[in-house]
């Protein structure tokens, strides 16, 4: 019942389309939307790993296995589902893969966003669109202060640069095509380094850690001193949902770019996070690879003052809680065969209510 009452009645009975629903963040978002009483449809490729969170959840939604690069197929899904709000998460989301597959990365992240927005603007039922990008969309200058939404976009690797491109696509559509009163409101969300149960992606810290524990081998890490804005997946998604609520309410000032990241203590090095995890998993061992690696940002932080001031958003779980719940999710799955996602969503919302967050107590 707590979950059903979150965000007022913004999502209850709403037709919601989630692209990338078979992915890590997309599957958690679908779980939350179902708890909110939404009629959810998904558009995505098959899950990229086995096991995967989407199949474990066994959610009942309209499940369209479509490539976002196929413009005609995307338009058909919009015509069939007539969504009222769209959360666009479909992407090629991995930095190192983008070096191996730059054409796929650019086609998916940039032209996929174009196809999504073309379909949205020609579908009269659509009232709001939230395009999800990344903290890596900023031109990273390795400076010691956090990036704000008005800072310059850019990217060294194809993934980061293509996500900056998706931001430019969204900004262009907003000003060129979505200015009339009947047009949907469009916003973008830039999240930090997300952790949480059910992620089995390649080249990500938590999935690599779990695989190393299962194989009883040391975890191989690339950049132990790299600093990232770590946050639990539910903190990131609460920002997207709050933003979507504002758009559905017709708040034109929310049709903009927004950072959703942890408070300052969540900005930690990879090595520090591993030491925190080792307290939960004493078997955890790691070693630093000596082989040459593609360039990745060393220092990256997000300034979330805008979201806190204008959306009244803030994170619910600090890094210790985020790490605890992530480790607990994998432990219960590995040792007991349980999928504790719904229970963790309940715990998150309970903590949000205790923190007196407006979206949780509406």
Q: What angle do CA 144, 255, 188 make, to 5 degrees?
A: 50
Sheet arrangement for strand 227-232 = 193-195, 227-232, 267-269
Q: Which one has a higher pLDDT value, 137 or 222?
A: 137
User: 9-23, 43-57, 60-74, 210-224: which has the minimum mean pLDDT?
Assistant: 210-224
Average pLDDT, the chain: 91
Q: What percent of the chain has pLDDT over 70?
A: 95
The widest CA-to-CA distance across the chain, in whole angstroms, is 58
Residues near 249 by beta carbon (within 8 Å), at least 6 away in sequence: 10
Distance CA 129, CA 146 (A): 26
Instruction: Find out whether 186 and 195 touch, Cβ atoms under 8 Å.
Output: no
Distance CA 39, CA 16 (A): 6
| Domain layout of the chain by residue ranges | 12-288+299-361
Distance CA 87, CA 105 (A): 19
Residue 107's pLDDT is: 98
Question: What are 254-279's pLDDT values in tens digits?
Answer: 999 999 998 877 678 888 888 888 88
Whole-structure pTM value: 0.93
Residue 274's pLDDT is: 85
Residue 57's pLDDT is: 98
Question: What are 295-336's pLDDT values in tens digits?
Answer: 555 567 889 999 999 999 999 999 889 989 998 999 899 889
Assign a CATH topology to domain 12-288+299-361.
Rossmann fold (3.40.50)
With 70 as the cut, is the pLDDT of residue 112 above it? yes
With 90 as the cut, is the pLDDT of residue 133 above it? yes
What is the average per-residue pLDDT within 226-251? 94
* Sign of the dihedral through C-alpha 206, 237, 84, 131: negative
Q: pLDDT confidence of 160, banded at 50, 70, 90?
A: very high
3 state DSSP class of 63: strand
Q: pLDDT confidence of 294, banded at 50, 70, 90?
A: low
Q: Hey, what are 161's tokens?
A: 């640069």
Q: Give me the torsion for CA of 152, 153, 155, 161, rounded to 10°.
A: -160
3 state DSSP class of 187: strand
Residue 63's pLDDT is: 98
With 70 as the cut, is the pLDDT of residue 187 above it? yes
3 state DSSP class of 34: helix
Residue 290's pLDDT is: 67
Instruction: Find out whether 98 and 204 touch, Cβ atoms under 8 Å.
Output: no
User: 44-58, 63-77, 210-224: which has the minimum mean pLDDT?
Assistant: 210-224
């Amino acid at each position: 019942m707590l979950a059903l009452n979150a965000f007022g009645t913004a999502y209850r009975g709403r037709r919601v389309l989630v692209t990338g629903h078979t992915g890590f963040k997309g599957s958690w978002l679908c779980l939350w939307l179902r708890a909110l009483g939404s009629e959810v449809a998904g558009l995505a490729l098959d899950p990229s790993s086995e096991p995967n969170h989407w199949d474990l959840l066994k959610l009942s939604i309209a499940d369209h296995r479509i490539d976002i690069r196929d413009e005609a197929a995307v338009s058909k899904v919009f015509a069939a589902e007539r969504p009222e709000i769209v959360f666009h998460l479909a992407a090629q989301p991995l930095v190192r893969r983008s070096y191996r597959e730059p054409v796929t990365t650019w086609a998916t992240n940039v032209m996929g966003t174009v196809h999504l927005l073309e379909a949205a603007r020609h579908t009269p039922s659509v009232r709001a669109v939230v395009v999800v990008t990344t903290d890596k969309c900023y031109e990273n200058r390795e400076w010691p202060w956090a990036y704000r939404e008005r800072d310059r976009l850019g990217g060294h690797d194809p993934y980061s640069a293509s996500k900056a491109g998706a931001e430019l696509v969204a900004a262009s559509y907003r000003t060129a095509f979505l200015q009339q009163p009947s047009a949907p409101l469009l916003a973008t969300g830039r999240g930090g380094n997300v952790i949480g149960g059910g992620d089995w992606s390649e080249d990500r810290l938590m999935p690599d850690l779990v695989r190393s524990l299962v194989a009883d081998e040391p975890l191989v890490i690339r950049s132990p001193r790299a600093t990232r804005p770590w946050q639990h997946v539910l903190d990131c998604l609460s920002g997207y949902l709050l933003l979507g609520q504002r758009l559905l309410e017709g708040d034109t000032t929310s049709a903009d770019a927004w950072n959703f990241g942890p408070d300052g203590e969540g900005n930690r090095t990879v090595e520090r996070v591993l030491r925190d995890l080792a307290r939960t998993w004493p078997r955890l061992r790691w070693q630093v690879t000596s082989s040459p690696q593609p360039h990745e940002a060393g220092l990256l932080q997000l300034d979330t003052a805008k979201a806190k001031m204008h959306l009244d958003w803030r994170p619910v779980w600090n890094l210790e809680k985020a790490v605890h719940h992530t480790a607990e999710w994998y432990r219960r799955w590995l040792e007991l065969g349980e999928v504790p996602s719904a229970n963790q969503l309940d715990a998150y919302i309970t903590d949000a209510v205790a923190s007196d967050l407006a979206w949780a107590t509406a």
